[in-house]
Chain A
Amino acid sequence: MGNQRRFQVWRGDTHGGNLVDFDAEVNEGEVVLDVIHRLQATKAPDLAVRWNCKAGKCGSCSAEINGRPRLMCMTRMSMLPPQLPVTVTPLRTFPVIRDLVTDVAYNYQKAREVRSFMPPKGVQPGEYRMQQVDVERSQEFRKCIECFLCQNTCHVIRDHEENETNFSGPRFLMRIAELDMHPLDAADEEGVDRKRSAQDEHGLGFCNITKCCTEVCPEHIKITDNALIPMKERVADIRFDPLIRLFRRKRG
């Protein structure tokens, strides 16, 4: 029942590698990850690949398919051009470990540098009250499955590895926005200015709102419009609003 398709899968490790051709059977309804699994079971038992949920929920199976950053489990074979071979390569921005598996430690390191949620003092567990409209903005960002496709795509680090130290990438800038918009986050009371830290410590300024991150997000989160731009605007307010500057000088 299946038809044959040509696959070109990148195989290799830290020392280098190349595209390897495979002919694979493809059945109705299948996604790229199904075919990768079939290759593992029949032709390349040691083909390295990450996956978990196979339903677009865990963000493990990120790769570049025909050059586009995508989740392998959510890419239907039927949507790829039938005449061409299907190329599957590892995320380009992160160092390869083996085959389709890359070293994404950068992301976990950045995650750790974003100051955590600060619970409001004096509000007991069970007494948190928030309106749905007020939580919705942050909830959009919390849909993030940490597939790191946006991180992989953003040109600030894709083309300039050296920016990695100073730039946390769209996913973690968005995390700051999420906390900043959390109705009960007590950063202000603790003297932490999340917007400023986005600018000063996480490299918000590097972002020139190209929206490439938004385009690849499998959760369809409006990263640029809803997280990055509003934060940029607010940072600009703080910087240039003379009243705020005066206020800050007094406090500081």
Chain B
Amino acid sequence: MTEIERHDYDVVVIGAGGAGLRAAIEARELGKRTAVVCKSLFGKAHTVMAEGGIAASMGNVNSRDSWQVHFRDTMRGGKFLNSWRMAELHAKEAPQRVWELETYGALFDRTRDGKISQRNFGGHEYPRLAHVGDRTGLELIRTLQQKIVSLQQEDFAQHGDYEGNLKVFAECTITDLLKDADAVSGAFGYWRETGRFIRFDAPAVVLATGGIGKAFKVTSNSWEYTGDGHALALRCGAALINMEFVQFHPTGMVWPPSVKGILVTESVRGDGGVLRNSENKRFMFDYIPEVFSNQYATSEQEADGWYDDPDSNRRPPELLPRDEVARAINSEVKAGRGSPHGGVFLDVSTRLPAEVIKKRLPSMYHQFKELADVDITAGPMEVGPTCHYVMGGVEVDPDTAAASVRGLFAAGEVAGGMHGSNRLGGNSLSDLLVFGRRAGLGAATYVDSLGGFRPSVREADVEAAAQRAISPFRTGTDSVGAENPYLLQQDLQQTMNDLVGIIRRAGEMELALKKLDELRRRVQHVVVEGHRQFNPGWHLALDLRNMLAVSECVARAALERTESRGGHTRDDYPMMDPEWRHALLICTQHTNGPEGSVRVERKEQVPMRADLVELFELDELKKYFTAGEIPGGTD
């Protein structure tokens, strides 16, 4: 075998989105030699696409906001399945993390008194999202990218080398994690440009690879979202939790077909946009669930009054958490009250003057004008649900972001727990910063705890990883049964979309599992053409393995959970069941089954700390908890 490029680091961060960059900044500031590895160019990670904002209870617009209120909203949004400790840390630390961005050079939109402006969003009681128009993710990633550059400039000034302590390996894909006994010892991957292999020897690896949305046909997610980090963790022995919870964002574009799934930011509704069906009815009033009946307006008049006077009016139901709105849209379309292209209407044109729309929602204006020939200042948009975010991910220790395998850490969308069964808008970007930093800190502390010791990489593992990676270049053998990676991906996406999508049924999920089995067999015969230099067919062939693993987790866990909650809706079990609230489903890889086969087990949640329980009214808790769990009340 030819020599494989090798690098030694203290910490290797896989992923250059918000979570990965924040982790890398922390690790480097704590004196660790750090590498950041990412599949795309630097600055192009998914985070760049985030639109609406970052949730943090700074109280700049409504001074009644506080971490306690944010915590409550987050738990409600996740239907109390969240890791309460993560939700607590997140709510407490988000403001500091946002303010810190200003010290890196970020320029958020301002309030009149010169503070960071905050906007309304679904499920957030007060205006809470720091934002820059509707391009907040771009601001976030550019700011972190520029902070990385600033650290590199410091290193250059001191040692004459920009990349000595902190280096970005862009367009480099990790395909396997390496282990020494029970601890992580490195990572293996390839350069997309040349197809050459590369290995990192490092005692600590932070997964920050984002989500899995590319396993579904209609999605707001990019080609990168193949669940690599989820699958890497699974293969290396770590556990995934909450994989049955997939967020379908209520408002994706539905027309033209080529843009189906592209996101329409929730800010449209936060800033006053309303949803109507083909009968011109604001249908969301018919879909306010019992658990939220106290917080949402029941008439158009009250709802409209809320924008100016939130203290004496309740919020418009368009701003219910995403799972509720997505289901409502789905029902309207099914009942035959949809728009011409199978969505519903989202209208801001009759609600705000054209200039205000262009100013507050510039990229939405641009996107519809250029891609759909629709002027959103003059007429409604057509929208429908699109796969957007996975709540499930690597099970981590809330304080250190450590996974169950030593040396492995996870933060951002790839980590599970924080959002419970459903994520509130804006809570991801803040999650990236809070837990990205904690993961960097956790990794650095772990490396310190090792003293000088370094777990070692086994050559045989590197060899095996290399073999696996080139296997799709089968030559000659069985070109008859050769499978095309693009078609396999389409089949997988269709399966997940149709059978494990927004509304689920036992029979369909069982069928999905059968199909996944079949797909796994077909993937064995995938064959790619050409050579190893920048070959997207090959890259996809390797990603398929990960997509299959995460799809199986989603389908198995979804079949297991016999209730409906947040991003998991079952036609055959339409109610939320308090007995399921305190249960988590854990996915691990079967140690002696075929590769990629997944085991699902039930695990009890840690009961919420008493002082946090006290933040809620007893009446509200009764809607979610079993009688035995309610403090002082067994009625």
Contacts and interface: CB of A to CB of B under 8 A. Distances in A.
Nearest to B58: A126
Interface in A104-143: 104, 108, 111-112, 115-117, 119, 125-126, 128-132, 135, 138-139, 142-143
A53 B222 contact: yes
Contact of B257 (A29, A108, A111): A29
A29 to B, nearest CB: 2
Nearest to A116: B150
A119 B103 contact: yes
B530 A116 contact: no
B57 to A, nearest CB: 12
A48 B533 CA distance: 9
A45 B371 contact: no
A22 interface: no
Most buried by A among B109, B162, B366, B370: B370
B222 A54 contact: yes
Residue with the highest number of chain B CB atoms closer than 10 Å, among A111, A128, A146: A128
A34 B152 CA distance: 38
B486 interface: yes
A31 B258 contact: yes
Given A45-B484, A45-B485, A97-B193, A52 B222 contact: yes
A108 B42 contact: yes
A46 interface: yes
A207 interface: no
Interface in A22-73: 27-31, 34, 40-42, 45-60
B132 A45 contact: no
Contacts of A58: 40, 44, 48-49, 222
B538 interface: yes
A75 to B, nearest CB: 9
Nearest to A1: B257
Contacts, number: 171
B153 A115 contact: yes
A45 B40 contact: no
Contact of B110 (A51, A130, A138, A182): A130
A45 B537 contact: yes
B371 A52 contact: no
B262 A54 contact: yes
A119 B107 CA distance: 12
A46 B99 contact: no
A239 interface: no
A41 B99 CA distance: 45
Interface string A197-212: 0000000000000000
B530 A45 contact: yes
Tell me the dominant secondary structure on chain A's binding face: loop
B96 A56 contact: no
B153 A55 contact: no
B507 interface: no
B371 A74 contact: yes
A27 B257 CA distance: 9
Given A45-B537, A60-B40, A125 B102 contact: yes
Interface residues of A, number: 58
Contacts of A143: 135, 138
Nearest to A74: B370
Interface in B114-171: 114-115, 117, 132-133, 135, 138-139, 142, 146-147, 149-150, 152-153, 162
A149 interface: no
A137 B259 CA distance: 32
Contacts of B109: 132, 135, 139
A194 interface: no
B367 A56 contact: yes
A138 B107 contact: yes
B257 A55 contact: no
Contacts of B147: 116
Interface in A193-229: none
B363 A57 contact: yes
A52 B103 contact: no
Nearest to A108: B42
Contacts of A40: 486, 536-537
A101 interface: yes
A135 B531 CA distance: 49
A211 B518 CA distance: 56
B259 A29 contact: yes
Given A55-B367, A116-B150, A29 B46 contact: no
B102 A55 contact: no
A119 B101 CA distance: 11
Contact of B258 (A34, A60, A129, A130): A34
A167 B605 CA distance: 58
Nearest to A109: B162
A28 B256 contact: yes
Given A30-B258, A58-B48, A116-B150, A50 B41 contact: yes
A142 B96 CA distance: 22
A38 B487 CA distance: 11
Contact of A129 (B44, B96, B114, B538): B114
A111 B149 contact: yes
Contacts of A60: 40-41, 44
A115 B112 CA distance: 30
Contacts of A13: 533
A45 B486 contact: yes
Contacts of A50: 40-41
A234 interface: no
B446 interface: no
B604 interface: no
Contacts of A98: 193, 533-534
B95 interface: yes
A45 B76 CA distance: 46
Nearest to A60: B44
Interface string A56-96: 11111000000000000010100000000000000000000
A40 B536 CA distance: 8
B536 A57 contact: no
Given A30-B256, A31-B258, A41-B486, A112 B114 contact: no
A238 interface: no
A37 B251 CA distance: 24
6 contacts: A55-B371, A56-B367, A58-B48, A58-B49, A116-B149, A129-B114
Given A56-B363, A129-B113, 9 more contacts: A45-B484, A45-B528, A45-B529, A46-B529, A56-B366, A117-B150, A129-B115, A130-B110, A144-B142
